[in-house]
Structure 1
Amino acid sequence: MRAGYQPSDAVLLDRAGQPLRALRLDLTAQRAAWTAFDDISPALVTAIITAEDQNFMTHSGVDLLAMGKAAWENLFRSRPRGASTITMQLASQLDPALQPGAGGRTLGQKWNQMKAAREIEDTWSKRDVLEAYLNLVPFRGELRGIGAGSRGLFGKAPSGLDKTESAILAALVRSPSAPPKLVARRACALAQELKLTVACAAVTWETEKALSRPSEPRSFSASGAVARQLLKPGKGAVRSTLDAGMQRFAEEALRRQLSMLGERNVNDGALVVLDNASGEILAWVANAGNSDVDGVTALRQAGSTLKPFLYELAFERRVLTAASILNDAPIEVATVGGMYVPQNYEKDFKGPVSARTSLASSLNIPAVRTLMLAGLDRFHERLRTLGIRTLTEAPDYYGYSLALGSGEITLLDLANAYRALANHGLYGTSTLVARPTEKPQRVMDEKAVFIVSDILSDRAARSLTFGLRNELATGYWAAVKTGTSKDMRDNWAVGYSDRYTVCVWVGNFNGRPMWDVSGVTGAAPVWRDVMDYLHRSQPSLAPRAPQGVTGIGVAFEPAVEPPRNEWFIAGTEMARVAVVPLHERAPRIVYPAPHAILAADPDIPDNRERVFFHAEAGQGLRWQLDGAILAEAEDDYRWQPIPGKHTLQLIDSTGHPVAQSDFTVRGTR
């Protein structure tokens, strides 16, 4: 019977078994978890036996003496009185066929009830009968069983019931819907029979207070979003990977920051905390408590938070090093839809900057240039490999704005992708329930990941945009990136230590823009508070350089940045980085990059789809494709793509090729 018992509420537990959230699954009745006999107050047991079945301990399920007495008294009563024992009442609770109809039980039902009671007592002890009865009997309204009755009427566990409370509950059993005055009168009579020292006025006051009390809500601390995912009918209690202390702290930190940002039109937020080693989710804050939206799984624009994966890909492919110079100057990129003109967050331009500074200070134009070098298709594929499943459109749908986070992602997917950075390029899934150890997959080069992590932890490199003192600068090792989407609708801070990954989003679920909120002033303070909490007793240690990574001193000519020690993937080291003036640079084909794979879009008509050939230092040169001269290379050339492999060249006036790019177009025409 215990195995088939179903509480009305399922309870979400944290990783240590502490209750986090109760979710009502059965709306027909309110039942608490099964209560063992030893967890029920002896005072209640005594009151129930006295009120319902004084010979309970001596009869074998049917009290023939009580039945005869009731039959005699009913001859002189207008309202008959029954003589059902506790065991007989239990039998009718277990078998719906024994429940009385509008006119009461028939003689056949009464006989079957007696027979069932005898059968129960043939195999069950008196403790078993009482335990089952008290877990099934209705007390008041929708309260079923002693667990729900005790908590709903008195706000305490059944073990804590005193003698007065026990008398009131026992008085309710006979007629759970009786008016409070009648219940109080019965409770007073029972208290007198039990020889309690309490006055009837006190019993009456306690009765009225209990029956006017609303049922105690069972919502603890965690967002209902996790409860709705994990709690299902029949499960009762489910243990999650959440940490109750971490969950409460994260909720409070987010609420506190949102209250400070209210005057800047910031009303919503969400965050998640992951354990790097296991992928277990330690905190899941779906919102700040004022919305039913689950901000952890809602789609939002990523902003600059995708840049670390872009630079990692460029380092991995050896098209850039952390010391490579990128030109932060105005750029126009030709696309099918027109010219794409990226802008920096601060609406200014820094000129020549290293890749380290570009990533750490979140410069947009160098990121777009990096994407042109690394390849849009490859970057899109890498993000999908990292579990960002919401980028379902073809790469050309996002275009080069993908470098700046134009695609929509979920907070959980973004956090787990950053966890792959924390795990040196190994990817695994996240989880809300304990599971066997998962074998991670290598998706990024460990050497490139190390360099990216070093950049994201470099407060000097990010000072160009953020300054040296801000919420990103921790007293322990941590790598972090902020992001703000177009029109200031989404604000992110996501980063990791040696043990944890924390991702925070603030904004408005209805899509309204924030007012003058940056990554440092919006989401970053929450990220910092949570990360400080996680490392309050144990500092985070910086990762060691893996084999194949070399650190050497680097100087820049001209001195666009001060000399420094820099990390390189072995074979790409350079002690001197010279910025070559534009007129002295060797001609090269910027797009399509060598070995690029382009995909024809079947939704674009053949006469409308174009690929734009773009060159650097192309003055005086001409475009040549597969041996056919096309046009002067000083300007971009619009080419209608043809499936297959192609060779694009820049040729001089003598027809000699000075730059070449071999690329492939996939699709059919």
Structure 2
Amino acid sequence: MLGLKITGPRAWGVGLAALLLASQMALANPSFREVRAAWRSSDVLVLDRQGQPLQRLRVDMQQRRLDWVALADISPAMRYALVVSEDRRFYQHSGVDWSGVAAAAWANLWNTRTRGASTLTMQLAGLLDADLRAGQQGRSLWQKVGQGWSASWLETHWQKSEILEAYLNLVSFRGELVGLSALSHTLFGKLPRGLNATEAAIAAALLRGPNADVARVASRACKILQDMAKPQPCSTVRVETEMALSRSRAGNALAEHDAPHFARKLLAQRPLTAGSTVRSTVSLPLQRFATAALQRHLAALAKRNVQDGAVVVLDNASGDILAWVGSAGAGLSNAAEVDGVTALRQAGSTLKPFLYQLAIERRYLTAASLLDDSPLDLQTAGGLYAPQNYAKDFKGLVSVRSALGASLNVPAVRTIEMVSPTALRDRLAALGLSSLQQDGDYYGASLALGAADVRLLELTNSYRTLANGGQSSALRWLRTDPLPRRQALLSPASSFIVADILADRTARVRTFGLESALSTRYWSAVKTGTSKDMRDNWTIGFSRQFTVGVWVGNASGEPMWDVSGMHGAAPVWLAVLDRAQQTAPASRAPAAPAGVTQRTVHYQNQIEASRVEWFLAGTERELIVAETQAIRNQAPGIISPLDGSIYAVDPDVPPKHQRVMLRARGVSQPQWLLDGKLICRANPCKWFPWPGRHQLELRDGRGAAIESVKFEVRGAFLRPPASAPKSKPVSP
């Protein structure tokens, strides 16, 4: 075994020194329990809130090590292949195989190649003690002596099963792969308990030549299979070896991979050492459901140029992050690594609730106040700004409840003129929207319509503040973290009123109808948003227990094709919130806080139906005066058509279904004159579109001219069909 011959007095000195050195090495050997306890994976393992594996992330890039694997969890084929190939007398010797030593010495005497006399126990001693590891020139005399002494010590203090288990976990197989678990996951895509005879032979063959080429490893594996009495055609073994080694640089195919974006963000903000295991706040069942719901819906929208989406679910009370889906995954997205939860996207109408909350809190408006939804031109530094509604029409006088519920744009712009862009920007920044770095004048009135980039995570937490009655707090990532401290950021009364509006399906009926993907069977409040050119879809809302935010779009910024918030994000929002509510008490409407009161509201001229409305205490007394003033301040005129409009008659649509709606504001008894002829005395007035250029004039009940516009109708008809009703003059 030693390969050296020393005689004379010097031999006694060398022998004594070797004996002392070996004794020290033996005394330094650790116990099996200490070795196992000191093992560290190269990964961080993130558990879900119930302790189930959620995500594994590698942080040590020098070696790839996975969890320690017990001998009972290693296939019998692997254990047998190891003993057959490395140490046939493992269960007979006491650390040093003296018969093997004699055979090796005899072979060395005759310069014959032999397997060597190093036992598995001796190899383990070299793995445990860096001083015993072989260098480029092999092991020195002192190392060989020490290795033998350490092996004898291990056999005395460890069980044979412990020696095998430690060896298979500590040995390097190929490249960066350390331990059988890393090898089995990477090369064969299975757990160590599932290794068959051929895979075990390939693994054992790598111990002799970790970096050998395919031919040498396959040849060695074929010989091991013969020794195991499980011979295989060497050509078959060669194919399997080539396939296995081709995956040596691949990732861990069996790694937990349910929340990659969440785990990366967690590690970015609080670095964790290799081998750490942390228990997150994420719910694995809800995470998987949200991922599947997003993937199914985006697959259905694929033909509308939709690739990406993101979902986040928050617990209202604790701030726990219950689900974090950063993308639809590589199967659907071309940018699966981009985290949609933290990416900056244009907010659209999702900022409107905070605008109206601020206006109500400052008593500029009530939920019953009337706003003028009519054409509006604003002079800005960049030119003329003319906001329009999603439906490309105008509603005239509408209440704040209807304006927010139906997500009307012009009333929002009129509201931000009262509040000021600076006040809204400061409020949004206080809510945690960290991307709003410019002052309010930079955004201008367009901030009311969401012309600013925000992050889904921060925006969803802002809605959670509304859900909690104005109480704001940071989010919680780990179950071991203390509950975040809350602070009163919004007034409870105004937050309650805004949440009540967002929960009112009748308030959004003008745009979304009574039944839609925003309607739940329990109390919930929700808002959609769609950015310019349909590049972003949002739906964010909350029940009493949970707040769910969903974004749908393209990470590249490409527009979607005819996908609104109702069709893009809302179905996913509804499915995820429904699933979350299955494990929670029934979500019922919150009780009114102090400082709010209810009054019955009756509108003049039936602008809106009478209803019972919520008010900040004291603001209800000014309602009738405010209504009258709003009507009085509304300049009479034509709402639609707009001056210069062009309409097209569709030959594929029956004429009876084609009408142009003539709408007026501020006129109780309107008279409509088309090309000088009186055609109607109603508001609105339905008119069959006759091709040509027209001049429309609006007069009041006394015949006084108010406003006139010009528009054009284009179409396939020179004459209306016989069945189509003709416009006839109306007698004055």
Structure 2 length-normalised TM: 0.73
Secondary structure, aligned partner of 2:609: coil
- TM-superposed deviation, 1:367: 1.1
Classify 1:203/1:162 alpha carbon distance in 2 versus 1 (closer, same or farther; 3 Å): farther
- Between the aligned partners of 1:502 and 1:583, the Cα distance in structure 2 is 39
Residues 1:23 and 2:57 aligned together: yes
Residues 1:225 and 2:261 aligned together: yes
Secondary structure, aligned partner of 1:22: strand
AA of the residue aligned to 2:103: K
Classify 1:33/1:26 alpha carbon distance in 2 versus 1 (closer, same or farther; 3 Å): same
- Between the aligned partners of 1:210 and 1:9, the Cα distance in structure 2 is 27
2:163 alignment partner, one of 123, 129, 143: 129
More deviation, 559-568/535-544: 535-544
Residues 1:191 and 2:222 aligned together: no
Superposed CA deviations along residues 605-635 of structure 1, whole A, max 9, x for unmatched, are xxxxxxxxxxxxxxxxxxxxxxxxxxxxxxx
Which residue of the partner structure matches residue 508 of structure 2?
462
Say whether the 8 Å CA contact 1:183–1:207 is kept in structure 2: no
Which residue of the partner structure matches residue 369 of structure 2?
324
- Between the aligned partners of 2:223 and 2:344, the Cα distance in structure 1 is 59
- Between the aligned partners of 2:118 and 2:633, the Cα distance in structure 1 is 102
Say whether the 8 Å CA contact 1:185–1:204 is kept in structure 2: no
AA of the residue aligned to 1:111: V
Superposed CA deviations along residues 335-359 of structure 1, whole A, max 9, x for unmatched, are 4445433222222211111110011
Residues 1:173 and 2:219 aligned together: no
Which residue of the partner structure matches residue 591 of structure 2?
544
Q: How does 1:564-643 map to 2 (within 5 A)?
A: 564-574=611-621, 576=624, 579-580=627-628, 584=632
2:191 alignment partner, one of 134, 146, 157: 157
- TM-superposed deviation, 1:385: 1.3
1:111 alignment partner, one of 119, 135, 145: 145
- TM-superposed deviation, 1:160: 4.8
- Between the aligned partners of 2:142 and 2:494, the Cα distance in structure 1 is 82
Classify 1:337/1:63 alpha carbon distance in 2 versus 1 (closer, same or farther; 3 Å): same
- TM-superposed deviation, 1:513: 2.2
AA of the residue aligned to 2:148: M
1:358 alignment partner, one of 397, 400, 403: 403
Say whether the 8 Å CA contact 1:306–1:404 is kept in structure 2: yes
- Between the aligned partners of 1:78 and 1:13, the Cα distance in structure 2 is 55
Classify 1:218/1:450 alpha carbon distance in 2 versus 1 (closer, same or farther; 3 Å): same
- Between the aligned partners of 2:632 and 2:350, the Cα distance in structure 1 is 35
- Between the aligned partners of 1:443 and 1:483, the Cα distance in structure 2 is 24
Residues 1:502 and 2:548 aligned together: yes
Classify 1:295/1:584 alpha carbon distance in 2 versus 1 (closer, same or farther; 3 Å): closer
- Between the aligned partners of 1:366 and 1:282, the Cα distance in structure 2 is 36
Secondary structure, aligned partner of 2:549: strand
Which residue of the partner structure matches residue 693 of structure 2?
none
Which residue of the partner structure matches residue 605 of structure 2?
558
- TM-superposed deviation, 1:63: 3.3
- Between the aligned partners of 2:439 and 2:544, the Cα distance in structure 1 is 35
Secondary structure, aligned partner of 2:372: strand
- TM-superposed deviation, 1:111: 2.6
Superposed CA deviations along residues 585-611 of structure 1, whole A, max 9, x for unmatched, are 599xxxxxxxxxxxxxxxxxxxxxxxx
AA of the residue aligned to 1:563: S
Classify 1:358/1:156 alpha carbon distance in 2 versus 1 (closer, same or farther; 3 Å): same
Which residue of the partner structure matches residue 444 of structure 1?
490
- Between the aligned partners of 2:625 and 2:521, the Cα distance in structure 1 is 32
- Between the aligned partners of 2:256 and 2:355, the Cα distance in structure 1 is 41
Superposed CA deviations along residues 371-422 of structure 1, whole A, max 9, x for unmatched, are 2223333222211111111111111111121111112111110011011111
Which residue of the partner structure matches residue 312 of structure 1?
357
More deviation, 42-51/220-229: 42-51
- Between the aligned partners of 1:391 and 1:370, the Cα distance in structure 2 is 20
- Between the aligned partners of 2:235 and 2:276, the Cα distance in structure 1 is 36
- Root mean square deviation of aligned Cα: 3.0
Residues 1:200 and 2:235 aligned together: no
Superposed CA deviations along residues 459-487 of structure 1, whole A, max 9, x for unmatched, are 11101111122111112211100111223
Superposed CA deviations along residues 450-509 of structure 1, whole A, max 9, x for unmatched, are 111110011111011111221111122111001112232221111111111111111222
AA of the residue aligned to 1:487: D
Which residue of the partner structure matches residue 563 of structure 2?
517
More deviation, 182-191/242-251: 182-191
- Between the aligned partners of 1:308 and 1:492, the Cα distance in structure 2 is 14
Which residue of the partner structure matches residue 614 of structure 1?
none
- Between the aligned partners of 2:632 and 2:239, the Cα distance in structure 1 is 93
Classify 1:54/1:365 alpha carbon distance in 2 versus 1 (closer, same or farther; 3 Å): same
- How many residues were matched structurally? 581
Classify 1:210/1:283 alpha carbon distance in 2 versus 1 (closer, same or farther; 3 Å): farther
- Between the aligned partners of 1:52 and 1:244, the Cα distance in structure 2 is 43
Which residue of the partner structure matches residue 235 of structure 1?
275
- Between the aligned partners of 2:313 and 2:493, the Cα distance in structure 1 is 25
- TM-superposed deviation, 1:146: 2.1
- Between the aligned partners of 1:74 and 1:161, the Cα distance in structure 2 is 36
- Between the aligned partners of 1:427 and 1:65, the Cα distance in structure 2 is 76
- TM-superposed deviation, 1:40: 3.7
Which residue of the partner structure matches residue 535 of structure 1?
581
Q: Which runs of 5+ in 2 are unaligned?
A: 1-34, 636-732
More deviation, 76-85/497-506: 76-85
- TM-superposed deviation, 1:255: 2.0
AA of the residue aligned to 1:549: V
Say whether the 8 Å CA contact 1:498–1:541 is kept in structure 2: yes
Classify 1:452/1:22 alpha carbon distance in 2 versus 1 (closer, same or farther; 3 Å): same
Secondary structure, aligned partner of 1:30: coil
Say whether the 8 Å CA contact 1:22–1:218 is kept in structure 2: no
Superposed CA deviations along residues 195-235 of structure 1, whole A, max 9, x for unmatched, are xxxx4238985785466344661354424322323355513
- Between the aligned partners of 1:12 and 1:263, the Cα distance in structure 2 is 36
More deviation, 179-188/82-91: 179-188
Structure with larger Rg: 2
Residues 1:245 and 2:285 aligned together: yes
Say whether the 8 Å CA contact 1:419–1:496 is kept in structure 2: yes
Which residue of the partner structure matches residue 425 of structure 2?
380
Classify 1:129/1:201 alpha carbon distance in 2 versus 1 (closer, same or farther; 3 Å): closer
Residues 1:285 and 2:351 aligned together: no
Classify 1:63/1:180 alpha carbon distance in 2 versus 1 (closer, same or farther; 3 Å): closer
More deviation, 131-140/554-563: 131-140
- Between the aligned partners of 2:206 and 2:381, the Cα distance in structure 1 is 77
Classify 1:129/1:532 alpha carbon distance in 2 versus 1 (closer, same or farther; 3 Å): same
Which residue of the partner structure matches residue 477 of structure 2?
432
1:212 alignment partner, one of 230, 240, 243: 243
1:64 alignment partner, one of 84, 89, 98: 98
AA of the residue aligned to 1:564: R
- Between the aligned partners of 2:56 and 2:238, the Cα distance in structure 1 is 27
Q: Which runs of 5+ in 1 are unaligned?
A: 193-198, 588-669
Secondary structure, aligned partner of 2:96: coil
Secondary structure, aligned partner of 2:376: coil
- Between the aligned partners of 1:137 and 1:20, the Cα distance in structure 2 is 28
- TM-superposed deviation, 1:565: 1.1
- Between the aligned partners of 1:102 and 1:584, the Cα distance in structure 2 is 96
- Between the aligned partners of 2:89 and 2:65, the Cα distance in structure 1 is 28
Classify 1:185/1:443 alpha carbon distance in 2 versus 1 (closer, same or farther; 3 Å): same
More deviation, 96-105/392-401: 96-105
Secondary structure, aligned partner of 2:603: strand
- Between the aligned partners of 1:555 and 1:459, the Cα distance in structure 2 is 20
AA of the residue aligned to 2:508: R
- TM-superposed deviation, 1:333: 3.5
- TM-superposed deviation, 1:112: 3.4
AA of the residue aligned to 2:577: M
